[in-house]
Amino acid sequence: MTAPTPAEVDAAMRLAIEEAQRVKGATYPNPPVGAVVLSSEGEVVGVGGTQPTGGPHAEVVALREAGERAAGGTAVVTLEPCNHHGRTPPCVDALIQARVAAVVYAVADPNPVASGGADRLRQAGIAVTEGVGAEAVQGGPLREWLHKQQTGRPHVTWKFATSVDGRSAAADGSSQWITSDAARADLHVRRAACDAIVVGTGTVDIDDPTLTARLPGGGLADRQPLRVVVGKREISPEANVLNADSRTMVIRTHDPHEVIRALSDRTDVLLEGGPTLAGAFLRAGVIDRILAYVGPILLGGPITAVDDVGVPSMARALRWRYDGVDRIGPDLLLSLVPG
């Protein structure tokens, strides 16, 4: 009996990460996990992602596709297989019953309720390897879920579109469009994968957004995030954000910490508010990631993406670091995390 080569395992992990990314947003409250089963010769015989709550986990989906070809093979998973009975049986049971020879996973499960899968597999005589593709998984499909496990609060991403000179609108207030169709399509994919989109009453009053996730053809995506409006100002009952396309929560506060508490049962929160709300969240220290879509235009004028962030001097600047720079059509997407 042969075994998959390291290159075949690495390729399988990349495929598992793609599968995890594909199901992201549809597995709440379970993490978005991807799994690939390789035969003993290194052939991909099963691929799966975690199904919606109550459905099978990624390993089970991949094992079902692999069938008898899983015996003697290798299961490659983005997260340590679970070892507890919830709405579904433990994934380690399915792996043991399938008679796989080895399990490779990227990230250990930090949840004490579900952890221990690796030890259980080893006790059953299955070879276990941890850490393959860990960085890509931690910064990719499991970023928000791992943050929630480690901190107990949702992961907050501040997203904004800006010109090269840092303006979010022209001097007359017009902002459609700073970035390209490709950048907006990318945003809609991210909206469909998140749990909630947050804006302020000012954005609702000025822009009247729908805050929905849409497909390239303009139709609604299958999954819509919760729409959250923050502020004490009354909004029109005719506002688009109150239409029937998705649920809407109105939180009458100016305190970002109250917003986070109100969304404590969520994992992935996308902040799309204007400069006032963005400044408040930055001052409160509750933003975990910045996504800046930068269009190749110059606008000048007074309208910036963020208002006061409580920085009186360069010595007190909020320091962030880049963890990704991507080209999307003519635009750049900058990803930053706290420095």
Compute the distance between CA of residue 98 and CA of residue 71 in angstroms, rounded to an integer: 6
Return the exposure string of 260-278: e unless at least 16 CB atoms fall within 10 Å of the residue's CB, then b.
beebeebbbbbbbbbbbbb
Residue with the two structure tokens 């902040």: 271
Q: Rounded to 5 degrees, what are φ and ψ at 173?
A: 95, -10
Q: Are 319 and 339 in contact (CB under 8 A)?
A: yes
Q: Are 29 and 195 in contact (CB under 8 A)?
A: no
Contacts of 233 (CB under 8 A, 6+ apart): 201, 202, 205
Choose among 82, 23, 86, 80: nearest CA to 49.
23
Compute the distance between CA of residue 232 and CA of residue 246 in angstroms, rounded to an integer: 22
Compute the distance between CA of residue 34 and CA of residue 57 in angstroms, rounded to an integer: 9
Catalytic residue among 8, 18, 41, 59, which?
59
Choose among 139, 126, 26, 29: nearest CA to 78.
139
Compute the distance between CA of residue 241 and CA of residue 233 in angstroms, rounded to an integer: 15
Q: Are 59 and 91 in contact (CB under 8 A)?
A: yes
Compute the distance between CA of residue 203 and CA of residue 66 in angstroms, rounded to an integer: 50
Whether 59 sits among the annotated catalytic residues: the reply is yes
Choose among 78, 49, 43, 80: nearest CA to 62.
49
Which amino acids are annotated catalytic? 59
